[in-house]
């Protein structure tokens, strides 16, 4: 399972890499540093076969904004259920509301800290695991 980090700030990307390494997920990370590069990657046919665990997405990226990427991600059938964790320093109610409408798993405020990342990571994967468990017919009590 691959994790994609779409982040133009090298310090924030490095922090994410360190935290994912602690979670033993660092062998499966793809890092993209601008929106144009990310758009090309996620719309490439070769990418369609990858099994994604999560996408960490900065909203303020060069070339293509994070919000535009999020709209593209949610328009791709194979990506609709992939958790997207938005990393932002934005306090724009319009941006945040649009992210919620597009089904963002959670938000992490910048500057990133270990505790904010850890909470977002745990919340996202705990919620996903709970959904997978409740959606499995073998787990039904009926």
Band of residue 136 on the pLDDT scale cut at 50, 70, 90: very low
The pLDDT value given to residue 8: 94
Q: Which domains does the chain have, with CATH numbers?
A: 2-139 (3.40.50.2300)
Model confidence pLDDT, tens digit, residues 29-67: 899 999 999 999 988 887 776 788 889 999 999 999 999
Model confidence pLDDT, tens digit, residues 103-115: 998 888 887 776 7
pTM, two decimals, is: 0.81
Q: Mean pLDDT over residues 110-134, rounded?
A: 64
**Cα distance between residue 46 and residue 11, in whole Å:** 29
């Amino acid at each position: 399972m691959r994790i994609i980090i779409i982040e133009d700030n090298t310090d924030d990307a490095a922090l994410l890499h360190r935290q994912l390494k602690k979670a033993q997920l660092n062998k499966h990370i793809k890092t993209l540093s601008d929106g144009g590069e990310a758009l090309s990657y996620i719309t490439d046919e070769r990418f369609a076969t990858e099994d994604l665990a999560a996408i960490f997405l900065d909203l303020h990226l060069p070339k293509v904004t994070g919000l535009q990427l999020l709209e593209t991600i949610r328009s791709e059938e194979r990506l609709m259920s992939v958790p997207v964790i938005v990393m932002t320093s934005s306090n724009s109610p319009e941006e945040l509301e649009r992210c919620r409408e597009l089904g963002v798993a959670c938000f992490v405020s910048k500057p990133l800290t270990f505790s904010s990342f850890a909470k977002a990571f745990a919340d996202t994967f705990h919620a996903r695991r709970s959904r997978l468990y409740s959606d499995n017919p073998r787990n039904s009590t009926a």
